[in-house]
Chains A and B, each alone.
Chain A
Amino acid sequence: MTEIPRETRVLDAVVSLVDSLLDDFDVVDLLTSLTEHCARLLDVASAGLLLANPGRHLHLMAATSEQTRDLEVFQLQADQGPCLDCYATGQPVSVCDVQTETQRWPRFVAAATDAGFASVHAVPMRAAGTVLGALGLFGTRVGVLNDADLCVAQTLAHIACVAILQEHAPTPEIVLPHLQAAQSSRVVVEQAKGFLHERLGVSVEDAFALLRRYARTHDDHLTAVSRRLITEPDARSAILAAMRQMAASPS
């Protein structure tokens, strides 16, 4: 049997998860499938997902197996382990051999070894500048997660964030007004391009590039900048001055 390339398997997983997001879905069910995809794609024995409540206490949301479930719950009880560190720092944690970490997490290493795990990794779930939780990955063999693995894990963790934040499947009541809003956003961005074409004497294409660059540099939305430019005369001179400077300097 020819092996399906990993790229294809990753894309298949992403497509199937995103498909569920666009339809009626259950958040626990979806997150459980996500941990299953993780385990299959990343060459780890199991995966689990810890989510913080508003009081910043972590809770287990989903896991591929009871073993993982036990280990995740154990981390919470023992108040130590890779998922907790990952949640606290917002950074990925990767331990290719748990035996090297007996100092850092003495109780966790003992429990992991008992459960038959040799390597542990965790990637953060982040949204709106807040760490929401961590995705834990547990291997029965000693081994590292390479950059590609880490990227796959992080992508799946991002999808988990979207699933949690969205939770309810889109209904026509939500979708239809969004279409109207999207249309008016596009109109406003086109207007802003014309506005800059006139005021700065740049082409509409360059005007669009400037708008995007300005929005990114100022950590703002393209539509919000466009709307200010078009409807708020008082806001214009500052934005135009910054854009003139941008136009003069190469990107």
Chain B
Amino acid sequence: MADTNQYKRVVGGSVPRFAPHARFRFDDIRQAWVVLAPERLLLPDEQAVEILRLIDGERTVDAVIDELARRYEAPREVIAADVIAMLQDLVGKKVLRQ
């Protein structure tokens, strides 16, 4: 679908960061992490929160995947598919940049 926008494709070497007006924060009232963006509100599940907490504008996608594979002792390719799909979705929503 987005073939004309190859430069936006998330790859292992990408360094994702939150867009300037996206806020990833813990909500005390719900006791849950939330992502706030222009007229958009995401309530990430536990797995997504784990990924997003590793997004710091310095780690590459490969480093994020390595860290999660280590933590969960899970096969790297399984983790990689999940991580890249989620990050690609959030880049498309302009919550993340790379």
A binds B: no
